[in-house]
Amino acid sequence: MENKQLMMGNEAIARGLVESGCAMATSYPGTPASEILSSVAALEREFRTGMHVQWAVNEKVALEIAYAGCQAGLRTAVSMKQVGLNVALDPLMSAAYMGTKGGFIVISADDPGPHSSQTEQDSRLMAMAARIPVLDPDSPRQAREMIEPAFRISEAFGIPVMLRPTTRVCHARQDVASGVIVDLKRRPAFEKDPARWAATPKFRLKLHGDLERKLSEIAAHAPTAPVKLNAGPKRRARAVVASGVAAAHLKEIASDPDLTDRFDLYQVLQPFPLHAEFIEEMGRYDAVLVIEETEPVIEMQLADRNRVQGKLFGPVPRVGELLPEGIESIVKGFCKMPSNLRTAPAGGRRPTLCAGCPHRASFFAIRKAAPRGIYTGDIGCYTLGLNLGAVDTVLCMGAAISQAAGFYHAYKHTEKPPDIVAAIGDSTFFHAGVPALIDAKVQNAGFVLMILDNRTTAMTGGQPTPAASFGATGNPLSPVAIEPLVNGCGVEFCRTVDPYQVNETIEALKQALEFCRTRGPAVVVARRSCLLERGPEAKAERIGIPVIVSDACDGCGYCIKHFECPALVMSGNRVSIDPAVCTQCGVCLNVCPKNCICPA
């Protein structure tokens, strides 16, 4: 009997990996991909196959580690979110040329919407640029089922293979049948072949030729060819082509009574390289509608522009997530049927930092110490510092530091250069902040860097950072501490504070600002565990300072607007504390300009 379990898409992918004998899995956390590696780690803890499971310092490092494993003949995989792929693109472009020995899967999770990302970029387009095949699952079940074929393509053709799930696959849950955990018992066997593994430009040309040959063969690989999903009408008039979760929406829409057999419905499993025979087949229809997220990757490969509709030419929106109601109305239009698109009302509450979050205290201190400063921000929970007016820029991982340096250089010849304060999380500092800090030191850039060290990668669910002393499976590791690293970058001012001690933190920031005016970057480490952390350090740090709002509160709302703690609520014409939400951090004692928030 099949053993069906409720699995999140990311768990199903993890399941697929361990059931295919994957021997090394690496990742850097990022929504919507994070749970892939944590699920692999959970399976490794349970079944102990001896798999190497690790969070790497960033996606580039993660990819390089996993790639070496496949060079040694093992099956390996690396997972990340789509913007993480940008970081890992350098090794990927080259790995495509050199190819693989053991199977190698690059899982890059896209986020059309975007729900939790800086961009809506399409990793399939990156696969196309790197010249590697990409598979596009429509559900948790299919995501799991695609892992073994992906390893097979990789091994049969000697090429890295990408799996591109989207948020609606990663964060869907479905009943998924699980199979057996497989240990292939392969021994690592790296065969030296410098002409391939360390190729000079002359040999790269040959490798490029090999790569293109592999791709044309993969475009005829039967197991990943497009599938026809319905019986369709008798005459071949209209075809609808979809991939990924758009295909899942379409399966359901195409079975609506008024749409049954109005068109032939195809699902593309491998958007690049698109199967040559399929391209030819589509030429036989009067009209073809392509529905895919988020770039017209399939559409571009269909040659006959006059008959093909989609995002390049046609009714499919180029931005945003394709919701099933939107697809329904597009398909009805394509079939010349009337449709009324019901759109959802816009709005909703914006996210905010948790009640008692140490970042809120840090941002409050930044605003106090440098009230008219330029605040460069970074990627993490603390991006939400923008609600508090303490984050002016968010570009990409690590950019808080390089942008602070950039603003310093831009303003350095002006009469009164502004104070510049960069805020970056601990995990992000390790990820891409360190080279930027070295550069800032070398260039003598005057700004203050606040490292918001909450001892975890909080936004993505609390993965360990390099400063933790344990890894993905809870395995003991040798941590790297932040302060010596800062000193090692040559920075001479490095002070560590507890952000809950608001006045002390403001004072440290002021001294840092003074220092940086003449002596290059200064660092303040604000250390206090994320409230969602449950470890011993976090427990030891807990404090309880009950607070009340006195009767003198006139309801001006200053605290709610500028501090935005979810536990401070307007009730009637004054503010009160919601005891169910308040964590008794006591930080708000410093906030009310009329001192109406007091110890209970």
Positions of E strands within 293-376: 308-309, 374-376
φ, ψ at 110 (rounded to 5°):
-90, 160
Crossing angle of helices 123-130 and 82-98, in 10° steps, is 20
Cα(501)–Cα(505) distance, integer angstroms:
6
Judge whether 326 and 249 are in contact, CB under 8 Å.
Answer: no
Tokens of 19: 């059931």
In terms of CB distance, is 267 or 501 closer to other proteins? 267
Cα(570)–Cα(266) distance, integer angstroms:
54
Instruction: Spell 332-354 as b/e; 16+ CB within 10 A means b.
Output: bbbbeeeeeeeeeeeeeeeeebb
Pairing of strands 227-228, 264-268: antiparallel
Task: Please list, in sequence order, all residues whose beta carbon lies within 8 angstroms of the beta carbon of residue 218, skipping any fewer than 6 positions away.
Answer: 133, 153, 157, 159, 224, 270, 273
In terms of CB distance, is 523 or 565 closer to other proteins? 565
Q: Residue 392's binding partner, choosing from other proteins, ligand SF4, none, with beta-carbon cut-off 5 to 8 A by kind?
A: none
Distance of closest approach, residue 560 Cβ to ligand SF4, in angstroms: 6
Site string for other proteins, 93-132 (x = CB under 8 A): ----------------------xx----------------
Distance of closest approach, residue 118 Cβ to other proteins, in angstroms: 11
Per CB under 8 A, 459 contacts other proteins:
yes
Site string for other proteins, 248-277 (x = CB under 8 A): xx-xxx------------------------
3-state secondary structure of 112: coil
Distance of closest approach, residue 127 Cβ to other proteins, in angstroms: 23
Judge whether 39 and 11 are in contact, CB under 8 Å.
Answer: yes
Per CB under 8 A, the segment of 84-92, 172-180, 194-202, 494-502 that binds other proteins is 172-180
In terms of CB distance, is 341 or 598 closer to other proteins? 341
Distance of closest approach, residue 405 Cβ to other proteins, in angstroms: 27
Site for other proteins in 296-355 (CB under 8 A): 323-325, 328, 342, 344-345, 347-354
Contact residues toward ligand SF4 (CB under 6 A) are 355-356, 547, 549, 553-559, 565, 567-568, 575, 577, 582-588, 592, 594, 596-597
In terms of CB distance, is 70 or 567 closer to ligand SF4? 567
Distance of closest approach, residue 14 Cβ to other proteins, in angstroms: 16
- Closest by CA position to 61, among listed 36, 28, 38: 28
Positions of E strands within 127-171: 134-135, 161-163
CA dihedral sign of residues 190, 193, 199, 200 = positive
Judge whether 312 and 297 are in contact, CB under 8 Å.
Answer: no
- Closest by CA position to 34, among listed 122, 121, 109: 109
Q: Residue 344's binding partner, choosing from other proteins, ligand SF4, none, with beta-carbon cut-off 5 to 8 A by kind?
A: other proteins
In terms of CB distance, is 347 or 476 closer to other proteins? 347
Residue-by-residue DSSP string for 187-219: PP-PPP-HHHHT--HHHHHHHHHHHHHHHHHHT
Distance of closest approach, residue 487 Cβ to other proteins, in angstroms: 33
Site for other proteins in 478-537 (CB under 8 A): none
Per CB under 8 A, 138 contacts other proteins:
yes
Cα(363)–Cα(133) distance, integer angstroms:
45
In terms of CB distance, is 19 or 325 closer to other proteins? 325
Q: Residue 356's binding partner, choosing from ligand SF4, other proteins, none, with beta-carbon cut-off 5 to 8 A by kind?
A: ligand SF4
Cα(51)–Cα(33) distance, integer angstroms:
20
Cα(526)–Cα(541) distance, integer angstroms:
13
Distance of closest approach, residue 413 Cβ to other proteins, in angstroms: 38
Per CB under 8 A, 32 contacts other proteins:
yes
Distance of closest approach, residue 585 Cβ to ligand SF4, in angstroms: 3
In terms of CB distance, is 112 or 446 closer to other proteins? 112
Q: Residue 336's binding partner, choosing from ligand SF4, other proteins, none, with beta-carbon cut-off 5 to 8 A by kind?
A: none
Cα(222)–Cα(518) distance, integer angstroms:
66
Q: Residue 342's binding partner, choosing from ligand SF4, other proteins, none, with beta-carbon cut-off 5 to 8 A by kind?
A: other proteins
Distance of closest approach, residue 385 Cβ to other proteins, in angstroms: 12
Site string for other proteins, 213-252 (x = CB under 8 A): --------------------------------x--xx-xx
Per CB under 8 A, the segment of 3-11, 39-47, 233-241, 370-378 that binds other proteins is 3-11
Cα(407)–Cα(581) distance, integer angstroms:
38
Query: Among all chains, which residue has been given the structure tokens 């956390």?
Result: 29
Q: Residue 572's binding partner, choosing from other proteins, ligand SF4, none, with beta-carbon cut-off 5 to 8 A by kind?
A: none
For residue 54, how far is the Cα from the chain centroid?
A: 16
Q: Residue 31's binding partner, choosing from ligand SF4, other proteins, none, with beta-carbon cut-off 5 to 8 A by kind?
A: other proteins
Instruction: Spell 502-525 as b/e; 16+ CB within 10 A means b.
Output: beebbebbbbbbebbeeebbbbbb
Q: DSSP label at 34?
A: T
Residues that bind other proteins (CB under 8 A): 4-6, 8, 31-32, 115-116, 138-139, 168-169, 171-175, 245, 248-249, 251-253, 323-325, 328, 342, 344-345, 347-354, 381, 383-384, 459-460, 566, 579-580
